Structure 1
């Protein structure tokens, strides 16, 4: 069960943001065994002065189209799955909405299964 946060500069149309969520979800399903309908994503848009980044860190040439994707999920994925996710997500987002691979920044946050409650005040994965 991933929780995905997507941050980008304000001003992109709804279709662009929909393409982001769809591409990210496809990458998660295809590389990390996430069920197709297991989708929880939050998009935040930021004014230029509130979206601060290094446009050349580690020799990656980033533009103002940078999209930062942070995914929180269980600590059950292998290194190979994570690498496959990074590549697949960059490929998906390059195909649609046409994002440059250099502008796909991904951060994974791994948690224990008992750190989730999906409602009703229960820790469903810890039962």
Structure 2
């Protein structure tokens, strides 16, 4: 049950944000075994002077056009799945016309006890895990 946060420049069109999330979700399903119904995303926008990025750290990028993709998900994916995800999402970004070098992607792992979707409590207790 990942929760995606896509941090984007203010000027990036909403349609492109939607396409990025669609590709992100499909990539997670394909490479990390995510349930196709588990699609949760928050798009946050930032002004160009609200982000500080090194323009060449581990690759060239345009700081004014860079997006940050943050995925929080249950722990358990292998290093191979994660590497496949990173390659796959960048391929998909290129496919929709977004320059993949202008993306920073990272995963944050946690456990079922760390999620709650209702008054019933954690996902762990609700699902009896």
- Partner of 1:84, secondary structure, is helix
Cα separation, 2, equivalents of 1:93 and 1:121 = 37
Shift of 1:95: 0.6
Secondary structure at 2:25 match in 1: helix
Pairs within 5 Å for 1:24-63? 24-58=24-58, 60-63=59-62
Once structures 1 and 2 are overlaid, which stretch shifts more, 60-69 or 113-122? 113-122
Helix, strand or coil at the partner of 1:118: strand
Distance, in Å, in 1 between the alignment partners of 2:52 and 2:43 is 17
Q: Which residue of 2 aligns with 1:14?
A: 14
TM-score (norm 1): 0.93
**Unaligned ranges ≥5, structure 2:** none
SS of alignment partner, residue 57 of structure 1: coil
Superposition misfits of 4+ residues, deviation over 6 angstroms: none
Task: Show structure 1 runs of 5+ residues with no match.
Answer: none
d(CA) in 2 for partners of 1:113, 1:65: 34
Query: Conserved in 2, the CA contact under 8 Å of 1:25 and 1:39?
Result: yes
**Corresponding residue pairs, total:** 125
Aligned match of 2:76:
76
TM (normalized to structure 2)?
A: 0.91
Residues 2-22 of structure 1 deviation map (CA, whole Å, 9 limit, x = unaligned): 011100110121211111111
1:125 deviates by 2.6
